[in-house]
Amino acid sequence: MEGKTIEKSFDTQYLKDYLIDHGVKPSTIRIKVLEYLLKNRIHPTAEDIYNAVYEDIPTLSKTSVYNTIDLFLEKNIIQIINTGNKESRYDIDTSIHGHFSCNICNRVFDFDIDSIEYDKSILDGFIINEQKVLFKGICNSCK
Amino acid sequence: MEGKTIEKSFDTQYLKDYLIDHGVKPSTIRIKVLEYLLKNRIHPTAEDIYNAVYEDIPTLSKTSVYNTIDLFLEKNIIQIINTGNKESRYDIDTSIHGHFSCNICNRVFDFDIDSIEYDKSILDGFIINEQKVLFKGICNSCK
DNA sequence: ATATCATTTTGTACTGAGTACAATTTTATT
DNA sequence: AATAAAATTGTACTCAGTACAAAATGATAT
């Protein structure tokens, strides 16, 4: 059994409630996109999402994927990751954590952040909505 | 005198040496771009750089600006800032520090970082070349 | 049910930052 | 001055993401 990926399962009701809890009215596309994001923790691109969901919904358009992404971002269901490559990536985990982007394989790894110690005086009075930490380099399996 | 911006001056020899010290052969464009970056600590876009240097060099092409930026990035003269907006920005300060990007005025502010406490176990064996910290929100004068 | 309205989804055309690349110009070397 | 090397330019192109109107779907009222 070791090394075997256990695919999590999420039933439709769970997915619907997840959306409703985040202020999003469920629809087939939204449920499928959410399901894909929950099952595939690979920080996918819009293209990745499109290709995967297209399997289930052959009438799917790219615009719908972007619409869904925009809605999910707005409702804080996902966060965007800009690694510097042109394609944005998306993360179903909206908590503050770090991302390591490998310059070779292009994969993005999560890592936990305990704290960021910074000089708060410069940002005095600023409203901070997002805190993003991005490391870049070469991952263990590529070096 | 208060509130008056004192523009720093950099003579040509200083700029040439700055480039040479970073492994870049000086040219008119490179000197002008470097001078602009040193004098205007506003994290400019490629467009900003183009517009400014175009004043002095009317034959300047966008491609040359991108060529210069790529060279400066490679030689670690500048670092790139991806705020999530489509245009990249560039910073002559290549040290590790934070950037705050205002969602209203689009300005980018620097702030000092003392340390990032993170779980190093996940990145064990990884080669970390860049560490970027980006905060987003609303700056003091926009809120 | 069925008509009406609102929302979601689709298709097409478009945008614009950045790139590819060959031609030209400038700089360095013999 | 002739030649070679490097820098710069101009043009055309790419392609992730957007704008927007038409079509389809879903919700509500009669």
Tell me the chain B residues in contact with residue A79 when contact means C-beta distances shorter than 8 Å: none
Mean pLDDT, all residues of chain B: 95
Where are the alpha helices (H) located in A1-141, listed in sequence order? Answer: 12-21, 28-39, 46-56, 62-74
Q: Work out if A59's Cβ lies within 7 angstroms of strand C.
A: yes
The angle that helices B62-74 and B28-39 make with each other, rounded to 10 degrees, is 70
Spatial separation of the C-alpha atoms in residues B133 and B96, rounded to whole Å = 8
Does B105 lie at the interface with A, CB-CB under 8 angstroms?
no
Has residue A3 got a pLDDT over 90?
no
β partners of residue A115: B117
Q: What's the Å distance between residue A80 CA and nucleotide C11 C1'? A: 26
Q: How much is the average pLDDT of B18-28?
A: 98
Sort out which chain B residues have CB atoms less than 8 A from A132's CB and list them.
132-136
- Ranges of each domain in chain A: 12-81
d(CA A6, CA B129): 33
Strand C nucleotides within a 7 Å radius of protein CB atoms? 7-12, 16-21, 27
DSSP H helices, B22-87, are 28-39, 46-56, 62-74
* CATH fit for domain B12-81, picks 1.10.10.10, 3.20.20.80, 1.20.1070.10, 3.90.1150.10: 1.10.10.10
Position B9 scores a pLDDT of 80
pLDDT interval class at B135 (50, 70, 90) = very high
B111 beta carbon to strand C: under 7 Å: no
Whether residue B110 is predicted with pLDDT greater than 70 in this model: the reply is yes
Summarize the confidence of residues A66-73 as an average pLDDT: 98
Tell me the CA–C1' distance in angstroms for B21 and D1.
Answer: 34
Measure B5 CA to nearest chain A CA, in Å: 19
Q: Tell me how many helices (H) and strands (E) chain A has.
A: 4, 6
Task: Count CB atoms within 10 A of the CB of residue A96.
Answer: 14
Q: What's the CA A27/C1' C4 distance, rounded, in angstroms?
A: 22
* Predicted pLDDT at A4: 62
Contact between chains at B132 and A127 (C-beta distance less than 8 A): no
Alpha-carbon distance A6 to A52, whole Å?
18
pLDDT digits (tens, 9 = 90+) for A100-117: 999 999 999 999 999 999
Shortest CA to C1' contact from B28: nucleotide: D7
* Cα separation, B13 vs A40, whole angstroms: 55
- Token readout for A48 is 């990745």
* pLDDT tops 70 at residue B74: yes
In the predicted model, is pLDDT for residue B3 greater than 60? no
A9 touches chain B (CB under 8 A): no
> Straight-line distance from CA B25 to C1' C28, in Å?
12
